[in-house]
Chain A
């Protein structure tokens, strides 16, 4: 990103606008799906799936993650691993209690 030429930036701008449109579309879809009143498991899956795509778009294009440096990837990878541990292990603990 650091040394992108003016032309490249112009190309980027087009991408940004496209991503914006995609995000709007996906938002409409999530809301629409939520009015279909799926049962909870598919609802969670669909909602989180769409949210992940949206999040991915924002991170990849707006935050330029798609062309980021290795160091940033490593840091984020670590974070993701711990994030998953933080969410899953307490849940596992909840399900595996003495009764």
Chain B
């Protein structure tokens, strides 16, 4: 017996398994980042003084990173749309772009971190840097995870296109949902850490 609804949707829920699965996973991710935001807010409210992010952090770099990440979200969704339009070559192109953007984000981040470390600024410096490094670090790990998944679907995983194109499209959609979520987290991280 095959496991049902891996490709087709279940009539009464209107979902296929992986779609529901990823949303549940994202819900748990919301709570994970939620706890860290909660920590951030509580610590900041309780703090005697709290620096203004833009004075300590590099806003232009973060701005560039925001653009990169938003861009990667678009290419991601376009790659999925290409599959929907049965254009595999275009899919490869957009997916490749997404992965490149992911790397771009990490490279910029590495420069940012590097600059901080070279000034002797580490998480141990104070609570501001502690939250900055922890939150962006955890987000960075999520980016890395996304890159790994996307690379798999760009490379070896894409062979599934020849055998089960629908299932493959679903997989890319699911990977996309995750990637957009990572983008979404950054959209909130950027103002909270850098601008406020």
Contacts and interface: CB of A to CB of B under 8 A. Distances in A.
Interface in A10-41: 10, 12-13, 16-17, 19-20, 23-24, 27, 30-31, 33-35, 40
A98 interface: no
Interface residues of A, number: 50
A55 B59 contact: no
Interface in A35-62: 35, 40, 43-44, 47-48, 50-51, 54-55, 58-59, 61-62
A9 B70 CA distance: 20
A13 B31 contact: no
Interface residues of B, number: 49
Contacts of B84: 4, 6, 9
A33 to B, nearest CB: 8
Interface of B: 9, 13-16, 20, 23-24, 27, 30-31, 34-35, 37-38, 41-42, 45-46, 54, 59, 63, 66-67, 70-71, 73-74, 76-78, 81, 84-85, 173, 176-177, 180-181, 183-184, 187-188, 190-192, 194-196
B181 A63 contact: yes
5 contacts: A34-B196, A50-B191, A62-B74, A63-B181, A70-B14
Contact of A72 (B20, B70, B76, B194): B20
Contacts of B195: 30-31, 33-34, 43, 47
